[in-house]
Structure 1
Amino acid sequence: MNRELQPLLDEWAREAGVPGASVGILHDGEESLLTTGVSSVDTGQAVEPGTLFMIGSTSKTFTAAAVLALVEDGVLDLDEPVAKYLPELRLADPVARDTITTRHLLTHSAGFLGDVDIASGWGSDALAAAAARFDELPQVFGVGEVFSYSNSGFLLAGRVAEVVSGLGYEDLVRERLLEPLDMTDSWFLPWDVLTRPHAVGHVLRDGKSEVAHDIGLTRSLNPGGGLWSTAADQLRWARFLLTGQAKDAPPLSDATRALWRTPQRAAACPIEQIALGWMVTRHGDAEIVRHGGNVSNLQLSDFITVPAENFAVTVLTNGVGGGVLGPKVVDWCLENLAGLPALEAKPVVPTDPAEYAGSFPTGDLGFEFTVRDGGLWARMVATDGTIETPPAFEVAFVAEDVVARAADTRRPLARFLRDEHGEVSAVEFGLRTAQRERSRLTA
């Protein structure tokens, strides 16, 4: 396996402009680890199996598991209002304040603004201080009505877990999950990471990777994206998800572990369903339980499991090109190791792009669609200026109101939604459901 994949990994990383990457594969009960490139273009230090990367939003699956451990303890109910555990909670919408449950938080359906980083320092009170400002977040959708990816929802779930357990969020995850699973190379706090081999994030400027002197998020977002880990530790997480394997007593019972990955509701394009923290989709006829992360376009990762095959692959990268490299590695592994069929390109459906052009903001992020030379182009924009905005790319319609990258029509990328008048009113893109601004953009 390594002999076949290693040269491809090296080549694909160079093509994608990824400075360094680490890959872990679980196949037929055996683990394989591969690395390529450097942890920093400034130091030239090679990526090693023990190099820490930020796993980004796969951290949400740890938050969900910690919450479920507290459910097993009998001290937390997923369907009780969050305000029962946080009586001081203030939200912009008083009805939502009395209605939102922890299940809503874990399934991205609480309805308040989801893409916002509430900076509250690096002290042990960071989550409490951020949660105290939730009345600043507009209630965009009714509670439970819409799936829209929510980092702020997981921040609040982490705060609930702190209060209920009496432990700081990071201590809770370490005691209840990381230690029982022997995940000794996974850390949340920069002062724990800095003394160990770690990758730094990179930005792409004028076609060259440069070190970003920023980690891309603050402590209050640890429940949504703050864990640093290695490919080997991520495979321990995969083994636990798939089989319940642990060093000591498993952190969750088999029944709760099954609930953890059981779909709870429909998700947003390009994912079909959401479980409790996990995303559930399909590759051909096979069910895929997955996550992945993007920390401000500085470090990107993929985490994919195929439960029926007891198979897993994780890809950790330290540059925005990881969004290209990760899926290439995953596809190769699914097709050549797990034996799943190759995805076929979908035929392009001729469509007038003009009615889809416009701006679709969602908190600190936004999506812009513009018409160029008769085609529709898409771009994710950081509206607060903290994230390097990737270049726009052309999309093609592969079904009614559904687009994929024009360069790769195998996977739907976004779905446009219409209002009662038949007008394009929102878009599902990057798992977000973003409402359209009134003005349209053309170029």
Structure 2
Amino acid sequence: MSKSVQELQGLLDEWAREASVPGAVVGIAHDGAESVFATGVSSVDTGLPVDTETLFMIGSTSKTFAAAAVLALVEDGLLDLDKPVVEYLPGLRLADPVARKTVTTRHLLTHSAGFLGDVDFTTGWGDNALALAIEQFGDLPQVFPVGEMFSYCNAGFQLAGRVAEVVAGIPFEDLVRTRLLEPLGMTSSYYLPWEVLTRRHSVGHTLREEGPVVEHAVGLTRADSASGGLWSTAADQLKWARFFLTGESAGEAPLSDETRDLLRAPQRKAALPFEEVGLSWLRTSHGDARLVRHGGNVANLQVSEFVTLPEANFAVTVLTNSAGGGVLGPKIVDWCLENLVGLPSIASATALPPSSPGQYTGRYETGDLAFEITDRDGALWAQMVVNIEDVPSPPAFEVVFVGEDVLARAADTRKAAARFLRDERNRVTSVEFGGRTARRRATVTG
């Protein structure tokens, strides 16, 4: 280990300011030792300092809890991953009749159900919120045939959560609490706002020219619990990491070793920036090292990272309260991998001149998200556009080609950001970005 973990506190303070992140917490577990660092404030309005017990929204890392809850029911013999979902939810409506008959829970947990994944359901905060959202699934277009493509699908995890609560006979949040959180001693993790508001918690911030500003919104509703609704602390996230790394549990282990391994084992190829997907868990590389990870982004208000390297018994989580966490989190993760674990740094790729850049420009849509490529005086720029009222889109950024049909940010060419896909006539028809596969052409149904 070339550097001491204690050096990270100063870097966290500095990098958070540079990224316009008002407050952040970093938790690290490595070879049985743990460290937690905090910086900044939970709200720029109150100035209340972030500490190691401050709750943050972990966003889509919540999907790993949903998948684990589903697998607990599989272990109970109550649920079969490869049985059509409609057998558990006979009243299920989907736009495509073939999808309704064939989509399985495994498809849902591997982002390959094919129906539109980025949608916003506002169905209140009652115990029936998830059921009311699923009643609207008949309106979701079937973008790909079931099982054909990986495209990151929040709606799929909502449906998986509904299957789990119906099979278990209790609300989804109670299932996760009793089967996972309590056995693991994760006593500072919550789904419901009335549980969070009485405890020290961070609020989300919008980035404006004058700096971070408190956004008076949560960014998710109860229907999003399975796909992204968990609040947690760095210490609790490290308990989740230790369970998956070593099987450690405060009480009786909620899952067998075989099931823990199954959740992380590759199931299929994924879309950039991911390489493979397990049952919820995402897999990428840092050089030759294989990372098992997740992370989350709640309406660009709270952004997190959760990365493990099993062979090094290493995990790091970064929790932040602004869109700047999208810069801060990866920077912290890379520093830890390179300076604590000792992995070599990733070399920058050489930028390649684009061939006929006009063939790539345009708008690629997937539900409430779009990916826009524009030509600015010969340079290509990209932007993820959020088509949700009052939810800001992150700023556009310049991109360069680093491989055939593969883009990276011009400011950092170490990692690919997007990949274009072509049809049998060699026409650019879709793009992979942020784990989504967005198409130019019409959907299968809709």
TM-score (norm 1): 0.98
2:227 aligns with 224
1:428 aligns with 432
- Cα separation, 1, equivalents of 2:6 and 2:259: 39
**1:74 paired to 2:40:** no
- Alignment counterpart, residue 245 of structure 1, candidates 244, 248, 254: 248
**1:15 paired to 2:18:** yes
- Cα separation, 2, equivalents of 1:207 and 1:336: 34
- Cα separation, 2, equivalents of 1:17 and 1:339: 28
- Cα separation, 2, equivalents of 1:39 and 1:342: 32
1:261 aligns with 264
- Cα separation, 2, equivalents of 1:76 and 1:374: 54
- Cα separation, 1, equivalents of 2:24 and 2:394: 20
Q: How many residues align?
A: 438
Q: Please list, as runs of the form range in 1=range in 2, the aligned pairs for 1:41-80 lying within 5 A after superposition.
A: 41-80=44-83
1:283 aligns with 286
User: Aligned letter for 2:295?
Assistant: G
Deviates more, 1:379-388 or 1:83-92: 379-388
Among the aligned pairs, what percent are the same residue? 67
- Alignment counterpart, residue 422 of structure 2, candidates 398, 418, 426: 418
1:162 aligns with 165
- Cα separation, 2, equivalents of 1:295 and 1:182: 25
- Does the residue aligned with 2:66 lie in a helix, a strand or coil? helix
List per-residue Cα deviations over 1:78-129 (Å, max 9, x = no partner): 0000001000101111110010000000000000000001111110000111
**1:342 paired to 2:345:** yes
- Does the residue aligned with 1:411 lie in a helix, a strand or coil? strand
- Cα separation, 1, equivalents of 2:377 and 2:13: 35
Q: Please list, as runs of the form range in 1=range in 2, the aligned pairs for 1:165-314 lying within 5 A after superposition.
A: 165-314=168-317
1:441 aligns with none
- Cα separation, 2, equivalents of 1:261 and 1:389: 31
1:321 aligns with 324
1:377 aligns with 381
- Cα separation, 1, equivalents of 2:6 and 2:282: 31
- Does the residue aligned with 1:187 lie in a helix, a strand or coil? coil
- TM-superposed deviation, 1:384: 2.7
- Does the residue aligned with 1:415 lie in a helix, a strand or coil? strand
- Cα separation, 2, equivalents of 1:283 and 1:207: 35
1:330 aligns with 333
- The answer to whether the 8 A contact 2:295-2:306 is kept is yes
- The answer to whether the 8 A contact 2:5-2:340 is kept is no
2:143 aligns with 140
- Cα separation, 2, equivalents of 1:143 and 1:317: 35
User: Aligned letter for 1:330?
Assistant: V
- Cα separation, 2, equivalents of 1:68 and 1:361: 32
2:116 aligns with 113
- TM-superposed deviation, 1:207: 3.9
- Does the residue aligned with 2:373 lie in a helix, a strand or coil? strand
- TM-superposed deviation, 1:270: 1.1
- TM-superposed deviation, 1:3: 3.0
- Cα separation, 1, equivalents of 2:101 and 2:50: 48
List per-residue Cα deviations over 1:192-245 (Å, max 9, x = no partner): 000000000000122411000001011101100000000000000000011111
1:403 aligns with 407
2:369 aligns with 365
User: Aligned letter for 2:197?
Assistant: L
- TM-superposed deviation, 1:437: 5.9
- The answer to whether the 8 A contact 1:55-1:300 is kept is yes
Structure 2 gap ranges (5+): none
- Cα separation, 1, equivalents of 2:344 and 2:403: 22
List per-residue Cα deviations over 1:239-277 (Å, max 9, x = no partner): 001111101111100011110100100000111000001
Structure 1 gap ranges (5+): 439-443
- Cα separation, 1, equivalents of 2:210 and 2:299: 18
- Cα separation, 2, equivalents of 1:320 and 1:304: 19
- Does the residue aligned with 2:202 lie in a helix, a strand or coil? coil
- Cα separation, 1, equivalents of 2:6 and 2:98: 58
User: Aligned letter for 1:135?
Assistant: G
TM-score (norm 2): 0.97
- The answer to whether the 8 A contact 1:359-1:437 is kept is no
- TM-superposed deviation, 1:2: 4.5
- Cα separation, 1, equivalents of 2:235 and 2:342: 23
- Cα separation, 1, equivalents of 2:402 and 2:106: 33
User: Aligned letter for 2:106?
Assistant: R
- Cα separation, 1, equivalents of 2:396 and 2:261: 40
1:85 aligns with 88
- Cα separation, 2, equivalents of 1:143 and 1:67: 20
- Alignment counterpart, residue 31 of structure 1, candidates 31, 34, 49: 34
- Alignment counterpart, residue 358 of structure 2, candidates 351, 354, 357: 354
- Cα separation, 2, equivalents of 1:303 and 1:263: 18
Deviates more, 1:178-187 or 1:278-287: 278-287
- Does the residue aligned with 2:261 lie in a helix, a strand or coil? helix
- TM-superposed deviation, 1:162: 0.3
- Cα separation, 1, equivalents of 2:162 and 2:235: 28
User: Aligned letter for 2:62?
Assistant: S
- Cα separation, 1, equivalents of 2:161 and 2:388: 24
User: Aligned letter for 1:87?
Assistant: P
1:128 aligns with 131
Deviates more, 1:28-37 or 1:379-388: 379-388
List per-residue Cα deviations over 1:172-210 (Å, max 9, x = no partner): 000000000000000000000000000000001224110
